[in-house]
Amino acid sequence: MRAAIEAHDAGADVALVSKIHPTRSHSGAAEGGINAALGNASEDDPEKHSFDTVKGSDYLGDQDAIEILCNEAPDDVYQLEHWGAVFSRTDDGRIAQRPFGAAGEPRTAYAADITGHVLVHVLYEQVMKRDLKVYEEFFVWKLVEHEDRCQGVIAWNLLDGGLATIGAKTVILTTGGAGRLYTGTTNAYACTGDGMAQALRLGVALEDMEMMQFHPTTLAPTGVLITEGCRGEGAYLLNSDGDRFLKNYAPNAMELASRDVISRAEQTEIDEGRGVDGNVLLDLRHLGAEKILERLHGTRELSMVFAGVDPIHEPIPVRPGAHYHMGGVDTDVWGRTSLEGLYAAGECACVSVHGANRLGGNALMETITFGKRAGAHAADWALTHTTVTVPESAEADAQHELQELLDRDDGERPWSIRNELAETMHENFGVFRREEQMRRQEEIVDGLHERYEQVVVEDKGDIFNNDLTQALELGFMLDLASCMVIAGIERKESRGAHARPYDFPDRDDENYLRHTLVTMENGAPRLGWKPVTMTKWQPMERTY
Ligand SMILES: Cc1cc2nc3c(=O)[nH]c(=O)nc-3n(C[C@H](O)[C@H](O)[C@H](O)COP(=O)(O)OP(=O)(O)OC[C@H]3O[C@@H](n4cnc5c(N)ncnc54)[C@H](O)[C@@H]3O)c2cc1C
């Protein structure tokens, strides 16, 4: 939505396409806040924000992109405020900012613990105000490539059935993450990495796909997120002995260390027998009822509804869960991909501001700042270039392929393959990674790919055919899993979210201070590399 607004305001004729209603986008689930060095709670500036982000990324983030993000963030947040985003306030009426993990200053602006919900609704109001065309509940299945450029999309109309081809001089993918590749995830059912896979299928590279972030505080067994804002407000993490175990892993930052560090600490406590039923405990009780009700109201409700625990009186059982994909479609700082006319921004892109580990609060900011930039560039390209031609064969070929799938009567339903994929990714490509498990996962994914060739869609109907769309999503996820696993096997070091304590426990800047790039050739993933862009900061030991 931020990209569309910018493109419209630059003079382009814009449409949004979304497989769910735009306000149901998963951004609406973001709780804790959005990072910008406003300096309202301390002496802060974009340089400090940049350094924290570079260090948080375990030095894999591209420093030019990080500096852009941190320099543009304050104005971009004020823009959201002027559009009507109701941020929580300091006593003197400025935007309040809370501490977040691995941030040297309190710089996370928030709207209680429903920040994403507030931002999504503000942006949707701006979309409506501009009267932008919204193809709501249209499932994009394919991108149209013609004459070496992207010229639109082919979508399945969820409400009425049938394919629709939408031509466009430029297309911006903003399709979000792929957390559904895992069983224990904070991500919604819609987060299946569609745009990443669609770009991959046109030969565009995916970057740093091994870097899946595990959030330290997800609620068992659903995976519902308990926001980092809890720890920002002062919550403790305890093991079964009642110890604040982070003193052994991050003695200075404690519960406000970076997510990769805390997730590994939790998993170690659980693996070594100091967990509580496969969890550790997040204790908010000392914050007091008043603070919990004022600032963490939504968190209290989530833990009461999903775990039957009232954090005013009891600690919340939490464990690491798949949360955020640092990897995605390889783009430059304007969202451009290697295919002319195709852009990407937000979680589906890898620009890369998060490198090997994202800091909480930086993802929402990325969607806004790089959404805006992609919108501006895509509009400029569209306004200064030629017409759109979508060959008739594009939709005819897609129709043919779809019909083949729908005509198939014997085979396996998508669900079993999808469940197996998610369970095995969790098992073999989780917080800690072993070479033999990753290799096993590679074989498992290959086997699932073969079974997918015979997948059967039992619902042959037109209206809200979830059976069909879930089958198509499964195809996307299988492609992405192949990319993740090959990149994970080949990155023979431990950096950020990619932890190999058993064979390569250390970061290896000499050999691996570079991005993985995976392309798909003849249906098989192929690995390449790309240097990290450094501006000011040389790699240092990363302690918290
Ligand atoms: C529970 C949770 C809490 C979080 N909290 C924070 C936080 O406090 N601060 C922070 O900075 N980050 C947070 N994050 C991360 C952040 O919210 C996300 O990275 C970000 O919101 C993703 O935004 P997006 O626009 O890229 O994707 P999304 O908001 O997921 O939107 C994707 C859009 O693409 C559409 N789409 C997808 N596939 C298709 C298709 N095939 N056809 C048509 N449309 C399609 C969807 O309909 C949707 O509209 C959180 C993440 C989670 C899961």
Measured from the Cβ of residue 398, the count of other Cβ atoms closer than 10 Å reads 18
Is the CB of 139 within 6 Å of ligand 1? yes
Is the CB of 424 within 6 Å of ligand 1? no
Is the CB of 194 within 6 Å of ligand 1? yes
Is the CB of 491 within 6 Å of ligand 1? no
pLDDT bucket at 61, cuts 50 / 70 / 90 = very high
Mutation choice for ligand 1 from 97, 364, 469, 477, CB with most ligand atoms inside 8 A:
364
The pLDDT of 64-90, averaged and rounded, is 98
Return all residues near 75 (Cβ < 8 A) that are at least 6 apart: none
Category of 522 on φ-ψ map: left (φ > 0), alpha (ψ -120 to 50) or beta: left
The pLDDT of 141-148, averaged and rounded, is 97
Return all residues near 393 (Cβ < 8 A) that are at least 6 apart: none
User: How far away, in angstroms, is 188 Cα from ligand 1 center?
Assistant: 9
pLDDT at 56 over 90: yes
Mutation choice for ligand 1 from 347, 369, 468, CB with most ligand atoms inside 8 A:
347
CA nearest ligand 1 atom 50, residue = 30
**Each residue's pLDDT tens digit, 147-172:** 999 999 999 999 999 999 999 999 99
**Each residue's pLDDT tens digit, 264-321:** 999 999 999 999 999 999 999 999 999 999 889 989 999 999 999 999 999 999 999 9
Kindly give the number of the ligand 1 atom that is closest to the alpha carbon of 24.
Answer: 49
Residues 343/170, Cβ–Cβ less than 8 Å: yes
Category of 242 on φ-ψ map: left (φ > 0), alpha (ψ -120 to 50) or beta: left
CA nearest ligand 1 atom 3, residue = 30
User: How far away, in angstroms, is 176 Cα from ligand 1 center?
Assistant: 5
Please report the pLDDT score of residue 96 as a whole number. Answer: 96
Q: Which two tokens stand for residue 411?
A: 């085979």
Grouping H, G, I as helix, E, B as strand and the rest as coil, residue 178 is coil
Please report the pLDDT score of residue 498 as a whole number. Answer: 98
- β pairing state of 15-18 and 133-136: parallel
Residues 388/168, Cβ–Cβ less than 8 Å: yes
Kindly give the number of the ligand 1 atom that is closest to the alpha carbon of 18.
Answer: 44
For the chain, what is the mean pLDDT? Answer: 96
Across 98-102, 351-355, 413-417, least confident range: 98-102
Please report the pLDDT score of residue 9 as a whole number. Answer: 98
Please report the pLDDT score of residue 540 as a whole number. Answer: 94
Rounded Cα distance between 177 and 175, Å, is: 7
Residue 101 or 445, more confident: 445
Is the CB of 516 within 6 Å of ligand 1? no
Please report the pLDDT score of residue 222 as a whole number. Answer: 85
Is the CB of 34 within 6 Å of ligand 1? yes
* 77 CA to centre of own chain: 20
Please report the pLDDT score of residue 485 as a whole number. Answer: 98
Residue whose structure tokens are 């890898």: 350
**Each residue's pLDDT tens digit, 423-432:** 999 999 999 9
Q: Which two tokens stand for residue 293?
A: 């009700």
Rounded Cα distance between 307 and 181, Å, is: 23
Kindly give the number of the ligand 1 atom that is closest to the alpha carbon of 153.
Answer: 42
* 55 CA to centre of own chain: 19
User: How far away, in angstroms, is 503 Cα from ligand 1 center?
Assistant: 34
Q: Which of 171, 214, 182, 177 is nearest to 197 (CA)?
A: 177
Query: Any idea which residues carry the catalytic annotation?
Result: 259
DSSP string, 399-445: HHHHHHHHH--SSB-HHHHHHHHHHHHHHHSSSB--HHHHHHHHHHH
User: How far away, in angstroms, is 76 Cα from ligand 1 center?
Assistant: 18
CA nearest ligand 1 atom 36, residue = 175
User: How far away, in angstroms, is 25 Cα from ligand 1 center?
Assistant: 6
Please report the pLDDT score of residue 287 as a whole number. Answer: 96
Measured from the Cβ of residue 502, the count of other Cβ atoms closer than 10 Å reads 13
- β pairing state of 349-350 and 328-330: parallel
Kindly give the number of the ligand 1 atom that is closest to the alpha carbon of 323.
Answer: 53
The pLDDT of 445-458, averaged and rounded, is 97
Which residues partner with 215 through β-bridges?
321
Task: Lay out the sheet containing 149-157: strands in order across.
Answer: 138-146, 149-157, 163-167
pLDDT at 101 over 90: no
Please report the pLDDT score of residue 228 as a whole number. Answer: 86
DSSP state of 327: -
Rounded Cα distance between 280 and 271, Å, is: 11
Residue 8 or 295, more confident: 8
Please report the pLDDT score of residue 523 as a whole number. Answer: 87
Please report the pLDDT score of residue 229 as a whole number. Answer: 86
User: How far away, in angstroms, is 231 Cα from ligand 1 center?
Assistant: 22
The full length of the chain comes to 544
Whether the link from the prior residue into 416 is cis, omega within 30° of 0, is no
Q: Which two tokens stand for residue 68?
A: 């852009």
User: How far away, in angstroms, is 371 Cα from ligand 1 center?
Assistant: 12
Q: Which of 327, 330, 326 is nearest to 204 (CA)?
A: 330
Q: Which of 440, 514, 519 is nearest to 483 (CA)?
A: 519
Mutation choice for ligand 1 from 1, 17, 20, 25, CB with most ligand atoms inside 8 A:
25
Residues 480/199, Cβ–Cβ less than 8 Å: no
Task: Lay out the sheet containing 514-521: strands in order across.
Answer: 349-350, 328-330, 206-207, 514-521, 524-531
**Each residue's pLDDT tens digit, 329-380:** 999 999 999 999 999 999 999 999 999 999 999 999 999 999 999 999 999 9
User: How far away, in angstroms, is 186 Cα from ligand 1 center?
Assistant: 11
Rounded Cα distance between 448 and 475, Å, is: 10
Kindly give the number of the ligand 1 atom that is closest to the alpha carbon of 32.
Answer: 8
Is the CB of 328 within 6 Å of ligand 1? no
Exposure string (b/e) for 353-379, b if CB count within 10 Å is 16 or more? Answer: bbbbbbbbbbbbbbbbbbbbbbbbbbb
Grouping H, G, I as helix, E, B as strand and the rest as coil, residue 486 is helix
Kindly give the number of the ligand 1 atom that is closest to the alpha carbon of 187.
Answer: 53
Q: Which two tokens stand for residue 162?
A: 């049938």
Q: Which of 219, 441, 474 is nearest to 323 (CA)?
A: 219
Is the CB of 347 within 6 Å of ligand 1? yes
Rounded Cα distance between 452 and 480, Å, is: 14
**Each residue's pLDDT tens digit, 230-243:** 998 999 999 999 99
Q: Alpha helix (H) ranges present in 46-176?
A: 46-56, 63-82, 115-129
Residue whose structure tokens are 């403790």: 236
Q: Radius of gyration (Cα) for the chain, nearest Å?
A: 22
Is the CB of 343 within 6 Å of ligand 1? no
Is the CB of 169 within 6 Å of ligand 1? no
Please report the pLDDT score of residue 500 as a whole number. Answer: 97
Return all residues near 429 (Cβ < 8 A) that are at least 6 apart: 212, 437, 438, 441, 484, 485, 488
Percentage helix, strand, coil, to 5, in the chain? 40, 20, 40
Is the CB of 31 within 6 Å of ligand 1? yes
Rounded Cα distance between 152 and 216, Å, is: 39
Is the CB of 101 within 6 Å of ligand 1? no
Is the CB of 174 within 6 Å of ligand 1? yes
